[in-house]
């Protein structure tokens, strides 16, 4: 019997897009699908739309479930609610404004059938502006796994990936992730202390616990950029606005595990970057790029300290913290 897959859609005020998202799951070429919709206290008619759609289409799936909350708990807790009731061997999380390509689940399952060691799989993502029409495609996330410095380089271990992630979130195709459910449960799912940051802490927890991240060179998901989304915008910023809210996360997840010189360098950059909270300074324009580089590189004493340590210790030449 083919393996079952739980598709978990996290919704919050998603009424303009949710039907398109649901239909993309309905149209999958893989048939053994459990569909779970977990709503985080929407104040529009998202829940009603989902309930009506599920009533009409539930026979397509091995099981369906619609979860609701009487308070808004944040994306991490909302994802965990879906995970806790899922019964599929594999899980595919999906944003309520994104869509799966018709072969998404089949492509993932076929790749995994040839790579039994893989429990966490990423793939390419097609990024669109507002609608999924060909003329609105913005980019296709790249496959850089051929690059020895890539986090997805084939010979890189989970430990090596973990060290790279301690420096920064290098996963640019997060919407594509496809995971073995028991592996996800083994690391505790998503960290609910971080209400608006579910992905990055998870990559750190997975790799820290020895679960290597794998990559498949196929596009499986359509990702939508639009003004109503929590985590994306059509405006090009030098520094993601989420970065300004990341210091409490770094105190828990990254700073304690970094060498002192690298930790001080990162803390310095975070404090200096606060001036770019101003939207005008944070626009991706040449003068702003120069100011950012001047402050974080040329006038950063800790970057010179890290370079000096690398020069004095030849063993650091290939160390992930100093590449």
- Of the pLDDT bands very low, low, confident and very high (cuts 50, 70, 90), residue 243 is confident
User: CA 36, CA 181: separation in Å to the nearest integer?
Assistant: 14
- Of the pLDDT bands very low, low, confident and very high (cuts 50, 70, 90), residue 115 is very high
Query: Other CB atoms closer than 10 Å to residue 270's CB: what's the count?
Result: 16
Q: 69-99 pLDDT, tens per residue?
A: 999 999 999 999 999 999 999 999 999 999 9
User: CA 166, CA 250: separation in Å to the nearest integer?
Assistant: 9
Q: What are phi and psi of 39, to 5 degrees?
A: -105, 135
pLDDT at 318: 86
- Of the pLDDT bands very low, low, confident and very high (cuts 50, 70, 90), residue 196 is confident
- Of the pLDDT bands very low, low, confident and very high (cuts 50, 70, 90), residue 2 is confident
Q: 148-161 pLDDT, tens per residue?
A: 999 999 999 999 99
Closest CA to 310 of 280, 270, 265: 265
pLDDT at 229: 56
> Bridge partners of 99?
222
- The alpha carbon dihedral of 258, 305, 144, 160 has a sign of negative
Query: Other CB atoms closer than 10 Å to residue 153's CB: what's the count?
Result: 16
Structure-token pair, residue 30? 């893989």
- Of the pLDDT bands very low, low, confident and very high (cuts 50, 70, 90), residue 212 is very high
* Domain annotation for the chain: domains and CATH numbers: 5-225 (3.90.550.10), 241-316 (no CATH)
- Of the pLDDT bands very low, low, confident and very high (cuts 50, 70, 90), residue 234 is low
- Model pTM above 0.75: yes
Q: What are phi and psi of 66, to 5 degrees?
A: -120, 115
Query: Other CB atoms closer than 10 Å to residue 312's CB: what's the count?
Result: 8
pLDDT at 1: 58
Contact criterion met (CB below 8 Å) for 42 and 14 = yes
Residue 230 has pLDDT above 60, yes or no: no
pLDDT at 245: 82
Q: 122-137 pLDDT, tens per residue?
A: 999 999 999 999 999 9
Closest CA to 63 of 89, 39, 88: 88
Name the more confident of 213 and 310.
Answer: 213
Percent of all residues in the chain with a pLDDT value above 90, rounded to a whole number: 89
pLDDT at 250: 95
User: CA 188, CA 195: separation in Å to the nearest integer?
Assistant: 15
Q: What is the mean pLDDT of residues 205-232?
A: 87
Q: 164-188 pLDDT, tens per residue?
A: 999 999 999 999 999 999 999 999 9
Structure-token pair, residue 91? 């899980």
């Amino acid at each position: 019997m083919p393996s079952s897959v739980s598709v978990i859609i996290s919704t919050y005020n998603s009424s303009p897009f949710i039907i398109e998202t649901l239909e993309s799951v309905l149209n999958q070429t893989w048939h053994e699908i459990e569909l779970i919709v977990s709503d985080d206290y929407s104040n529009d008619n998202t829940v009603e739309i989902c309930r009506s759609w599920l009533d009409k289409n539930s026979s397509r799936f091995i099981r369906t479930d619609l979860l609701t909350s009487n308070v808004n708990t944040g994306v991490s807790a909302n994802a965990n609610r879906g995970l806790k009731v899922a019964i599929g061997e594999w899980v595919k999380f999906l944003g309520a404004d994104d869509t799966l390509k018709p072969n998404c689940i089949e492509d993932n399952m076929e790749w995994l059938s040839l790579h039994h060691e893989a429990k966490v799989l990423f793939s390419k993502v097609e990024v669109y502006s507002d609608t999924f029409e060909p003329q609105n495609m913005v980019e296709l996330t790249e496959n850089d796994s051929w690059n020895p410095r890539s986090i997805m380089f084939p010979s890189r271990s989970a430990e090596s990936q973990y060290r790279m992630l301690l420096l920064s979130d290098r996963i640019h195709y997060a919407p594509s992730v496809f995971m073995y459910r028991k592996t996800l449960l083994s690391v505790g799912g998503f960290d609910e202390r971080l209400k608006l940051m579910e992905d990055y802490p998870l990559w750190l927890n997975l790799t820290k616990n020895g679960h290597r991240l794998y990559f498949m060179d196929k596009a499986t998901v359509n990702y939508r950029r639009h003004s109503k989304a929590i985590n994306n915008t059509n405006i090009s910023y030098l520094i993601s606005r989420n970065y300004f809210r990341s210091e409490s996360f770094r105190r828990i997840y990254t700073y304690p595990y970094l060498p002192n010189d690298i930790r001080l360098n990162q803390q310095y950059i975070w404090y200096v970057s606060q001036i770019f909270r101003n939207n005008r300074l944070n626009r991706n324009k040449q003068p702003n790029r120069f100011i950012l580089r001047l402050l974080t590189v040329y006038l950063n004493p800790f970057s010179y300290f890290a370079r000096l340590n690398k020069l004095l210790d030849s063993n650091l030449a290939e160390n992930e913290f100093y590449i």
